[in-house]
Amino acid sequence: MPSALFLTAVLTNTIAIAIATTSNTWLSPLLALPQAMLILGCQEAKHLGVHGTFIGNRYLNDAIGIVFAALFGVNFVAYRYFHLAHHHATCTEADPEGKLYALSWRTRWIWLLAPLELTWVAWHIGRNGWPMVPPTKRRVRNAASVWMFTFAALVALGLNYAPRTIAFAYLIPLALFSWFDFILTQAEHYGAAITPASQRHERGSVALDIVLPLWIGWMTLHRTLHRVHHREPALPWFQAPRRLNEDPTATPIAYLTFVRRWLAGGPRLWLTEGGTPAATNTVRRSRSEGCA
């Protein structure tokens, strides 16, 4: 039921934006802000779909994941195997996220480029996750790609016939989402040292929980409670706040608190416990690299 209510909210707000832009009312910019939070929720619904926890029906769960992943230029099936590999080897040299973070820039100015980072992340996931898909799932992977290109074509068509609607319902919220979510992505495993693949971290020990106001938490499907997720990947999203409150070892922090920490410490680094770049088997680089 909570997931169904979220889907209803996404559909309702999108229709409201379409009506507002058609009528040329002043509501369009106002509706774009909650749309950005809902798109953040769509990002998390895609992630939950990987674990099969967004909707109880497996086929519907995957269908929704494929649809939402296309919003961000991501092939859902490739992302599934990429992300599950990340859970299996979180913050070790075998973590497939290593190459993504190891090659990013050290400067804090990368925050301004967050909308462009969406394309880089989607390309990286596709390039690395594509060969991870087993032969039995490649037909679905290819179908997900067909939908991705179909969605892109529909957006291009919409820009021709209804540019204001596409702008306020998708493009502007997507940009707002990217700047807000960039910090959340940086926070997921911020400050975690990268260990050899044979020395896996205890589940959830290298993840952070960022707390948001309850209404934003619901709109974003509690995407910020990343430590809770790593400790219990199969936990339904709407139970995450209760699990956080029940955990005496949890040390959640506020969004703005982490922003100050990030501005002081800089971008997340892909470093070993000794402070040197991690030698991951997915990256070839010199000692001068290693930024996340």
Q: What would the pLDDT profile of 157-191 be if each residue is shown by its tens digit?
A: 999 999 999 999 999 999 999 999 999 999 999 98
What integer best gives the mean pLDDT of the chain?
89
In which band, very low, low, confident or very high, does the pLDDT at 6 lie, cut at 50, 70 and 90?
A: very high
pLDDT for 292: 31
Upper half-sphere CA count for residue 160 (Cβ side, 13 Å):
6
Q: What percentage of the chain exceeds 90 in pLDDT?
A: 70
In which band, very low, low, confident or very high, does the pLDDT at 83 lie, cut at 50, 70 and 90?
A: very high
Does the pLDDT value for residue 286 go beyond 60?
Answer: no
pLDDT tens-digit map of 193-206: 888 878 787 777 88
pLDDT for 143: 95
Q: What percentage of the chain exceeds 70 in pLDDT?
A: 92
In which band, very low, low, confident or very high, does the pLDDT at 26 lie, cut at 50, 70 and 90?
A: confident
Going by C-beta distance under 8 Å and a sequence separation of 6 or more, which residues neighbour residue 108? 262, 263, 266, 267
pLDDT for 202: 78
pLDDT tens-digit map of 211-263: 999 889 999 999 999 999 999 999 999 999 999 999 999 999 999 999 999 99
3-state secondary structure the chain: CHHHHHHHHHHHHHHHHHHHHHCCCCHHHHHHHHHHHHHHHHHHHHHHHHHCCCCCCHHHHHHHHHHHHHCCCCCHHHHHHHHHHHHHCCCECCCCHHHHHHECCCCHHHHHHHHHHHHHHHHHHHHHHHHHCCHHHHHHHHHHHHHHHHHHHHHHHHHHHCHHHHHHHHHHHHHHHHHHHHHHHHHCCCCCCCECCCCCCCCCCCCCEEECCHHHHHHCCCCCEHHHHHHCCCCCHHHHHHHHHHCCCCCCEEHHHHHHHHHHHCCCECECCCCCECCCCCCCCCCCCCEC
pLDDT tens-digit map of 134-153: 999 999 999 999 999 999 99
Does the pLDDT value for residue 124 go beyond 60?
Answer: yes
